[in-house]
Amino acid sequence: MSTCLVCKNRIRSRLTTTRLMILSACLAFLASTSHAQGLPEGDSQALGFSTARLHRVENIVAGAVAREEIAGAVALIARRGEIAYLQTFGMADIDDQEPMEVDTIFRIASMTKPVTSLAVMMLYEEGHFLLSDPVSDYIPELKNLRVLTTGSDNVETVAAESEITIRQLLTHTSGISYRFISSGDKRETIARLYAEAGVSDGLSETEGRIADLSRQLGELPLLFEPGEQFAYGLSIDVLGHLVEVVSGMTLTEYFDSQIFEPLAMVDTHFYLDDNKVGRLASVYTSTEDGGMRELGNETVVNDYLVYSATYPYSGPGSYYSGGAGLVSTISDYVRLLQMFLNGGELDGIRLLSPTTVAMMTRNNIGDLDVGPGTKFGLGFAVLEDPGLAGNPGSVGTYFWGGFFNTQFFVDPEEELIGVIMTQRFPADRGNVRQKFVNGAYQALVD
């Protein structure tokens, strides 16, 4: 029996619809896989790299795994918005025989700081505050602070001559310290006072909320008069509280809605859902014989240093450490860095103006120093004198790392990004992170 013309048209329509659905699904799949590495893959030679010299990078990291300096790593080099090199090494978990994967999740610790600094500058661009504003205008607990004058059991303080500004928090010149940095008499005294007050560095399970930190710090002395010195510390955690106060959101809500979702950073979180915990790399620590072992569920307490491997999925899950709390993948994090390198924009989504990115990535601490040849911007260290620093990067390269052995750099002159992620504390004795940076530059021949 012949099929009527109307029926034939209906069948054709159904087939066309089905083909379109299949095509749409294929395109969606291709789109998702094209972003599986965070950025599109490029031809390494066309991007200016020697293929043979990129093998040296592989030898550097693979050698660290073979010598049991690290359990494993993921390393990425990108240029001009495309990936030139992406490689996994070793194991994410040796005991469970889980290899490192491109989508392995890492505790990025202080690589959280550029994200919080980004959030602050986004709110700054919206006109909520000036960087010269006293932070006490928004967090009254930090008004009328005092400064430690002696480093001893007999604590003596004087009234601070000035208020801490938002800029000083961004540049770590506020006088707020870390409890785990206790070298020197005054630092040791501050560390002891922080420990007695229950101040968290954000590296372990922590009760309460980030607003509690502001209340604690408001009752403790500063290490020095605001603006007088550079001292790495909890300043960015305080800024995480500032983001909450100004935006009316929790820090995780602000990050998710304003940064991670726009940038398609799908695996960057403060706390992991159960379905992602299995992708979290294990943390390794040193043994007495110079080897390494997996850090278990215990919280490590070593004088004033407190850290754990379990904080991304254990505990109350309410303390959003803007200085140390995030976990991420290398694919996610390179998208954040490419946004900065692009002057605040990625894939048609603009988070900052080029002017603001330029502010963030230049010297903001004047004559103070982070280290030889190195200054600090608003969220990053900035290379000012490569020769003095012993760093192969160009002037203006910005970079930072994390407690659990992660590191990144962005070189605007070369349009170059490098990221390496491992999980070990203390850091590997072979210093694979800096060797990776050196390796990325020696492979660049154009």
Running DSSP on this structure, what letter comes out for residue 280?
B
Give the contacts of 119 (CB within 8 A, at least 6 positions apart): 239, 243, 251, 254, 255, 258, 259, 322
Look at residue 154 in the predicted model and tell me its pLDDT.
85
Q: Are 338 and 81 in contact (CB under 8 A)?
A: yes
∠ at Cα 8 (5, 10), nearest 5°? 110
Look at residue 152 in the predicted model and tell me its pLDDT.
77
**Can you give the C-alpha Rg of the chain in angstroms?**
24
The kind and range of the H/E element at 191 are helix 185-197
Report how many helices (DSSP H) and strands (DSSP E) the chain contains, helices first: 13, 18
The kind and range of the H/E element at 385 are none
Give dist(CA 436, CA 57) in Å, integer: 6
Look at residue 37 in the predicted model and tell me its pLDDT.
62
CA atoms within 13 A of residue 156's CA, in its CB half-sphere: 6
Q: What are phi and psi of 170, to 5 degrees?
A: -65, -30
Look at residue 150 in the predicted model and tell me its pLDDT.
87
Q: What is the pLDDT along the chain (446 residues), one digit of tens a residue?
A: 333 333 334 334 443 433 433 333 343 333 333 444 699 999 999 999 999 999 999 999 999 999 999 999 999 999 999 999 999 999 999 999 999 999 999 999 999 999 999 999 999 999 999 999 999 999 999 999 999 998 777 899 999 999 999 999 999 999 999 999 988 889 999 999 999 999 999 999 999 999 999 999 999 999 999 999 999 999 999 999 999 999 999 999 999 999 999 999 999 999 999 999 999 999 999 998 888 999 999 999 999 999 999 999 999 999 999 999 999 999 999 999 999 999 999 999 999 999 999 999 999 999 999 999 999 999 999 999 999 999 999 999 999 999 999 999 999 999 999 999 999 999 998 999 999 999 999 999 99
Dihedral (C-alpha) 399, 400, 405, 408: value to the nearest 10 degrees?
-30
Instruction: Return the percentage of the chain with pLDDT > 70, whole number.
Output: 92
Give dist(CA 112, CA 180) in Å, integer: 18
∠ at Cα 231 (428, 306), nearest 5°? 50
The kind and range of the H/E element at 416 are strand 416-421
Residue range 145-175, pLDDT digits in tens: 999 998 777 899 999 999 999 999 999 999 9
Dihedral (C-alpha) 418, 422, 424, 427: value to the nearest 10 degrees?
-20
Its pTM surpasses 0.85: yes
Look at residue 151 in the predicted model and tell me its pLDDT.
79
Six-digit token pair at 152?
A: 């001893």
Tell me if residue 372 falls in helix, strand or coil: coil
